[in-house]
Structure 1
Amino acid sequence: MATNGLNVIVTGSASGLGAATAKILARDGARLVINYSSSQADAETTAEECRKLGAAEVVVVQGDVSKDDDCKRIVDAAAKWGGLDALINNAGITKHVAHHLLDQLSAEDFQRLYAVNTIGPYQMVRAARSLLSAGAKAAGRASAVVNVSSVAGISGVGSSIAYAASKGALNTMTLSLSRALAPAIRVNAICPGYIDTPWFTKGRGAEEAKQVRDMVVAKVPLKIASSPEDIAELVCFLATPKSNSMTGEMVRMDAGMHLG
């Protein structure tokens, strides 16, 4: 998938899906802003791997997308390029709580998840809008925003009710932004199911994470646990001119989980 030196910001790209996405873009000579909130060592490792893969330039920026000033600082790191071709809103958090345990989710839990998963992408788009518009003008085609959502936001499943709600709000916001920012900026979302990353291990421990993985493989029609690289290919498709006629879409990629 040729990116021809695209200028791209990937939030939450120290590891997992964000890192896998950055590496795919790097192979085609993209200029990248790698963003992390707390894992600087992982971010620097990802950045170095991107350089070795052929990225034209890599900048590492610490920032919490729930903070508007941090969002502006992340975007400022790309200003020297004169424009952006894509913003990939990948940063996200959760709290693992079984859905029937209502007393274990507080208002503060909802507020924190919404701050990162929903308000964060909005603030990133707002901060990056002028650079995305400049990129579109220079390229003669729309630039792209890709919001990394989840099947949780469609089906009300997932690690907690608060997480599902925050991703449902992100899906709705994707539709609103796709109308508001056209024709210069395309806005789409991906809705992956289970991804085989340390996400569940950090939240539930190694033993329970393995149980979740085994359960997913047993239940989904394709009998696979999607890798970060699997999902990253879709992210990059939506971030590049390959999807130039797509906006306002929520593309589900869940190994058939939604089929029941």
Structure 2
Amino acid sequence: MSDGLNVIVTGSASGLGAATAKILAKDGARLVINYASSKDDAEKTAEECRKLGAAEVIVVQGDVAKDEDCKRIVEAAAPWGKLDALVNNAGTTKHVAHHLLDQLSADDFQRIYAINTVGPYQMVRAARELLVAGAKAAGRASAVVNVSSVAGISGIGSSIAYAASKGALNTMTLSLSRALAPNIRVNAICPGYIDTPWFTKGRGAEEAKQVRDMVVSRVPLKIASTAEDIAELVCFLATPKSSSMTGELVRMDAGMHLAG
């Protein structure tokens, strides 16, 4: 269903963003791969997407916290004349236990919000014209998918600032879904634990393994979701398969919310 679609995926050098791009590539999508600092990973992902069948792949460096970078990322897709989907996947955190209030500063909050909340807003604003053009060309709404987290629903996760930023992203998803209808659908996914290098980079290999083992032992499905698992949901929301959905916060956490 992504055949011929034009899609921007932010933060797509690795992890969930890369997995999403590769699924779309298999159906011949045109893709903008975005990275902030991991150029080699982004180029590798782009080459894999080309081999998988992507019609075109453009790699663009840009920090979504910066409005001028958001505009530049979108400008890379301008020659296509339209966008069918924008996946706001870029994100960041600081790993701080929730009771250690003194280890989380105002600067930490501002940096995390700038990328996790303000960044998606700026990307939507920059891409709006191309997304509307995509809707008019296809005769159906184009799509925005915000990658949020169960942290934004339950107040859990790597830090209080991270949970707060994702909670704000969730409510912003609802606001944008009203503001941009009927031409643009806006939904968010709220994954639980994802077995990617995200935890290893933030916590170290030993603690990351402890987190993974703890999650598997506690969630009802007894699994650690992979990036590919979650990417399937992202692509569902980014493609016409979900053409009647907007303003939804879709939780995909292996039943974590049932475990208490």
Matched ranges for 1:89-238 at <5 A = 89-238=88-237
Could you tell me which residue of structure 1 aligns to residue 35 of structure 2? Answer: 36
- Give deviations 1:37-76, integer Å, cap 9, x for gaps: 0000000000000000000000000000000000000000
In 2, distance between residues paired with 1:190 and 1:93? 16
Deviations 1:5-31 (A, max 9, x none): 100000000000000000000000000
For residues 202 and 3 of structure 2, the distance between their equivalents in structure 1, rounded to whole angstroms, comes to: 38
Detail structure 1 runs of 4+ shifted over 6 Å in the superposition.
Answer: none
Cα displacement (A) at 1:4: 1.4
* 2:77 is the alignment partner of 1:78: yes
Identity of aligned residues (%): 88
> Following the alignment from structure 1 to structure 2, what is the Cα–Cα distance between the partners of residues 202 and 110?
19
Following TM superposition, by how much is the alpha carbon of 1:239 offset from its aligned partner in structure 2, in angstroms? 0.1
Q: Distance in 1 between matches of 2:4 and 2:132?
A: 17
Which residue number in structure 1 is paired with residue 11 of structure 2?
Answer: 12
Write the distance in 2 (CA, Å) between the matches of 1:218 and 1:4: 39
SS in structure 2 of the partner of residue 64 of structure 1: coil
Provide the rounded CA distance (Å) in 1 between the counterparts of 2:246 and 2:133. 18
SS at match of 2:7: strand
Q: How many Å separate the matches in 1 of 2:252 and 2:204?
A: 25
1:252 CA displacement:
0.1
Paired residue secondary structure (1:88): strand
Q: Deviations over 1:155-184 (max 9, x none)?
A: 000000000000000000000000000000
1:47-86 to structure 2, matched below 5 A, reads: 47-86=46-85
TM-score normalised by structure 1 residue count: 0.99
**Alignment TM-score, normalising by the size of structure 2:** 0.99
Look up the equivalent residue of 2:51 and give its one-letter code. K
Q: Which amino acid aligns with 2:174?
A: L
The alignment of Structure 1 onto Structure 2 pairs a total of residues equal to: 259
2:239 maps to amino acid: T
> Which runs of no fewer than 5 residues in structure 2 stay unpaired?
none
Task: Give the whole-Å Cα distance in 1 for the aligned partners of 2:104 and 2:22.
Answer: 36
Q: Deviations over 1:195-244 (max 9, x none)?
A: 00000000000000000000000000000000000000000000000000
Query: Which consecutive residues of structure 1, in runs of 5 or more, have no partner in the other structure?
Result: none
2:116 counterpart SS class? helix
Alpha-carbon shift at residue 147 of structure 1 (Å): 0.1
Amino acid at match of 2:220: P
State how far apart, in whole Å, the 2-side matches of 1:64 and 1:253 are.
27
Instruction: Specify the SS of the correspondent of 1:242.
Output: helix
